[in-house]
Amino acid sequence: MKCRNLLLVAAGLAIFVSGESFADSVKVIANWSVKTDAISAADLKRLFLEERIALADGSHVEPVLEKNGPVHVAFLKYLGISEDDLETYYRTLVFTGKGSMPKELGSDAEVIAYVARTRGAIGYVSSTASAEGVKTLTVGDGEADAERKLTFSVKPVYPETLRKLNIGGTVRLRVFISAQGKVEDVRLLGGNPILAEAAVSAVKKWVYAPGRSRSIVVVSILFEGTE
Amino acid sequence: MQIHGFASQGFVYTNDNNWLTMNTSQGSGAFTDFGINASTNVTDRLRIGAQLYDRNLGQLGEYHPSLDWAVVDYRFKSWFGIRGGKVKTTLGLYTDSQDLDFLHTFALLPQSVYPTDLRDATIAHVGGDIYGNVTLQHKLGDLSYTGYVGHRSDSEYSGYRYYLSSFGAQIKSYGGLQYGADLRWSTPLKGLLIGVSRMNEEITAKGSVVDPLNPGAGLVPYSEFSKADWTNQFYGEYTKGRLRIDSEYRRYWRNQEISDSTSESFADMRGWYVSGAYRICKRLQIGSYYSRYTITNVVTGALSALYPPATDTNLPANHIYDKVVTARVDLTKFWNLKVEGHFMNGYGSGPYPNGFYTQVNPQGFMPNTNALVVKTGVNF
C-alpha cells in the first residue's frame, strides 16, 4: 500500500511586511537576473545607500532612482529617510570620493526599460505601472526573519485521485502571518493547481508563534507518492 | 562619467579679535572656496575619480589649488573594499566633508573639533584605505569600518605653518605618516549612529627659524618630530524626522621634539560639541550648537624658559567656548544662504592654533568675540 509522506519545508525566507499606505503607491522592481522574490526594507535601504553591493546570494545589484516626484517620495518611506537627507547622503559620497550617485531616470517607463535590460538593476515605479519585462519584489519594513516558528500545523490532504496516479510535486506558497501568529492570507507561487488547493486549505489553519510585526513566509510543501 | 562642483563665499564680521586669519573686525569676505570633481564607474566594482579644491581663507589657501582627492576604489564585497590614491581621511562625522558647505546646516562646523584653519592636518592622506559594511546578527544593526595608512602633507598655505611663521619660522616641509581606523554602528534604534575614530601620526617639520634664544644670531635650523601624536574621537548622531542631533568629542595629544630636538612640547587639546538642527520647511533650517575647546601645554628643555606651562583651562588663552545659532535658507535645490552668530569666550591661542592668530591680532587678544557669519554656496 502506498503511503504518503508530506514533507513540510518552511523555507528560510521570511520578512516583516510593511504598512499598506505607501506600498500601495509604489512597487519595487528588479531585473530577472536578481534571484530573490522578496527583500526586506532594511536590505533595500542598505542597497540604495550603497552600503551593500550584493544580495545574500552574492549577486551584484545596481540601485536605480526615479527622479523627484510622488513615486520617489513614496519609495523613500520604505527607506525611512527624507528626500533631502538622501540627497545630502549621495552628495557626501560623491564629493568625498567615497561613492557615486546612482542612475537617476525620469519616469516609470524609463526605469522599467533600464531595469529590464540591466543585469542586477533594482528600482521602483508607481504601483499602477505595467512591470512587463521585470520582476516585482515583495518588500517588508524590517529585517529578514527566519525564526518565525510554526506552533500548530495541519497536514494537507493528498487528493486521492492524484495519489493513485502517483502524481506529486512541490507547491510553493507565500504565507502572510499576523503579528499574533494567525495566517491571514496564502498566495500560490507555484505547483500543481490541485495539490495547491489542498496545500492552501491546510496552511490557512496553521498557527505561528507571535512576532514583532506581520511577516511573510515562503513555504514549500512536497507531495510525494511512494509505494 | 559624473562631473560635480561647488563654490561658496562667506563674509565674517567680529566685534573683537580678528578670526580665522581674516581682518574680521573690519568685516572680511576673504572666505571663498570651490571645487570640481569627475568620477566614473569603470565596472560594477571599480570606480575612479578625482577632485580639485581651491580656497582663500584670510592668510590661508590664497587661491592655490590642490588635489583634494584622487582615488581608485575597488569593492570586492559589501564587507570589504579598498581605495588608494589621495584619500579623504575618515575621522568622526565630518572630517572628510568639512569643506563641503552645502552639506551642512552650519556655515562653520564646530571649531573645537573641525577647525577650518587646520583642515590640512586631517583632511586627506596619500595611501590606502580598507572599508566595508557588515550587518550584525540578531537585528543588532550595521557596522561600518575604515582602516587607513598614508602620508599627510600640509600645504605651504596651511594654518599650522602660518602659525609657525609668527616665530619667524620658514618651514620647507611639514607632514608624515598618518594611520588610523574608524568604526561606526548604525544601531537598532532607528536614526541613531554612534562611532569611534583613532588616528596616529608621525609628523616631521623641517625649516629654519629666528633663534628664539638669541634673535640677533639670525636663522638657525628648525625641526619638529612627533614622539606621540594621536587623536581619539567619539561621536553620535541621531535623526528623527526633521530633527538632527550630533555630538562629538575629540582629544588630540601631541608630544614633540622641537627646535632641533633641544626642547620637548606636550600639548593636550580637547574639544566637544552638541548640535541640533531642525528643518522647519523645505527651504528653511535652523540650528544651534555649543562647542567647547581647551588646550594645555608644557614645554621642557631649552625653550621652557620662554614658554611657561599653560595648564589652566579657565584662562581665555587656553580655551574657546562658542555658542552658535544659525539659519539656512535653500534658495533653490543647488543654492543656499546661511546666517550665523557666534558668541565666543576665550581665544585658545596656545602652542597649537585654533582660529586666533597673533599675526592678525598684533594688539593682543580680547577675552570675548562675537561673530556674524554670512555665507552662500552653490553646487551642481
Task: Give A1 to chain B, closest Cα distance, Å.
Answer: 47
B212 pLDDT tier (thresholds 50, 70, 90): confident
- In sequence order, what E strands does B154-283 have? 170-186, 192-210, 219-240, 243-258, 263-281
Interface test with B, best of A40, A98, A119 (most B CBs within 10 A): A98
- Per DSSP, the three-state class of B159 is helix
Per-residue model confidence (pLDDT) at position B12: 98
Q: How far is the C-alpha of A195 from the C-alpha of A159, rounded, in Å?
A: 7
First to last CA, chain B: 14
Residue A149: its pLDDT value, please? 75
How far apart are the CA of A162 and the nearest CA of chain B, in angstroms?
43
- A165 CB-contact burial (10 Å; exposed 0-12 / middle 13-18 / buried 19+): exposed
Compute φ and ψ for B373, nearest 5 degrees: -120, 125
A33 and B CB contact within 8 Å: no
Q: Is the pLDDT of residue A147 over 70?
A: no
Helix (H, G, I), strand (E, B) or coil at B334: coil
**How far, rounded to the nearest angstrom, does the alpha carbon of residue B99 sit from its chain's CA centroid?**
9
- Taking the CA of residue A80 and the nearest CA in chain B, the distance in Å comes to 9
Q: Which fold has domain A3-15+144-226?
A: TolA/TonB C-terminal domain (3.30.2420)
Residue A227: band (very low, low, confident or very high) from pLDDT cuts 50, 70, 90 = very low
Backbone angles phi, psi at A49, to 5 degrees: -90, 5
Cβ atoms of B85 and B71 closer than 8 Å = yes
Interface contact B170, partner A, CB < 8 A:
no
**Fold designation for A20-139:** D-Maltodextrin-Binding Protein; domain 2 (3.40.190)
Q: How high does pLDDT run on average in chain B? A: 95
A6, containing H or E segment: strand A3-16
What mean pLDDT comes out for the span B95-111?
97
Q: Which of A60, A88, A97 sits opposite B44 (nearest CB)?
A: A60
Radius of gyration of chain B (CA): 21
Q: What is the pLDDT of residues B244-288, one digit of tens each?
A: 999 999 999 999 998 777 899 999 999 999 999 999 998 999 999
pLDDT exceeds 70 at position B63: yes
Largest CA distance in chain A: 73
Enumerate residues 6+ apart whose C-beta is below 8 A from B83. Answer: A97, A98, B71, B72, B73, B74, B128, B129, B131
* Residue B36 forms contact with A (CB below 8 Å): no
Inter-residue contact A25 to A127 (CB < 8 Å): yes
What distance in Å separates the CA atoms of residue A192 and residue A170, rounded to the nearest whole number?
A: 8
Q: How confident is the model at residue A171 (pLDDT cuts 50, 70, 90)?
A: confident
Single out the residue of B154, B101, B198, B219 nearest to residue B353, CA to CA.
B154
Q: What is the mean pLDDT of residues B307-320?
A: 94
Q: What is the DSSP letter of B116?
A: G
A92 against B217, higher pLDDT: A92
Phi, psi (rounded to 5 degrees) for B65: -70, 150
The alpha carbon of residue B91 is apart from the nearest alpha carbon of chain A, in Å, by 13
Query: At residue A222, does pLDDT exceed 50?
Result: yes
Which residues share a beta bridge with B155? none
Are B133 and B75 within 8 A, CB to CB? Answer: no
- Segment B327-356 mean pLDDT: 94
Residue B245 has a pLDDT of 98
pLDDT tens by residue, B165-177:
998 889 999 999 9
Say which of A91, A97, A101 has its CB closest to residue B88. A97
The pLDDT of residue A141 is: 53
The model carries a pTM of 0.81
Within an 8 Å CB–CB cutoff, is residue B198 touching chain A? no
Which residues is B273 bridged to in the sheet?
A: B248, B291
> Cα(A103)–Cα(A61) distance, rounded to whole angstroms?
12
Residues 6+ apart with CB under 8 A from B73: A97, A98, B46, B47, B48, B49, B81, B82, B83
Asked if residue A20 has pLDDT above 60, the reply is no
Residue with grid cell 559594511, as numbered in its chain: B133
The DSSP letter of residue B95 is G
Give how far Cα B62 sits from Cα of A7, A25, B221, B356, Å: 76, 53, 27, 18
- CA angle in degrees (0–180, nearest 5) for A49-A52-A58: 150
- Name residues 186-205 of chain A within 8 A of B (Cβ): none
Report residue B1 as a C-alpha cell. 562619467
CA neighbor of A50 nearest in space, from B47, B380, B7, B293 = B47
CB contact under 8 A, A94 and B37: yes
Instruction: Give the per-residue pLDDT at A14.
Output: 39
Residue A221: strand, helix, or coil: strand
DSSP B237-273: EEEETTEEEEEEEEEEEEEEEETTTTEEEEEEEEEEE
Taking the mean position of all CA atoms in its chain, how far away is CA B120? 7
* 3-class DSSP assignment, residue B133: strand
Question: In this complex, how many residue pairs, one in chain A and one in chain B, have their CB atoms less than 8 Å apart?
Answer: 81
CB within 8 Å: A60 and B379: no
Task: Using a CB–CB cutoff of 8 Å, tell me whether A57 touches chain B.
Answer: no
- Mean pLDDT along residues B92-97: 97
| Cα–Cα dist B121/B296, whole Å | 19
Which domains does chain B show, CATH number per domain?
2-379 (2.40.160.10)
Please state whether beta strands A135-140 and B263-281 pair in parallel, antiparallel, or not at all (unpaired).
unpaired
d(CA B17, CA B364): 8
A52 → closest Cβ in B78, B242, B282: B78
Q: Which chain A residues are within 8 Å of B135, Cβ to Cβ?
A: 46, 52
From CA B199, how far away is CA B191, in angstroms rounded?
26
Contact (Cβ atoms closer than 8 angstroms) between residue B312 and residue B306: no
CB atoms within 10 A of CB B69: 28
Average pLDDT value for chain A? 80
Among A62, A91, A96, the residue with its CB nearest the CB of B96 is: A96
pLDDT, residue A225, reads: 64
Report the distance separating Cα B252 and Cα B351, nearest Å: 13
Across residues B335-363, what is the average pLDDT? 94
Query: Where do the structural domains in chain A lie, given as residue ranges?
Result: 3-15+144-226, 20-139
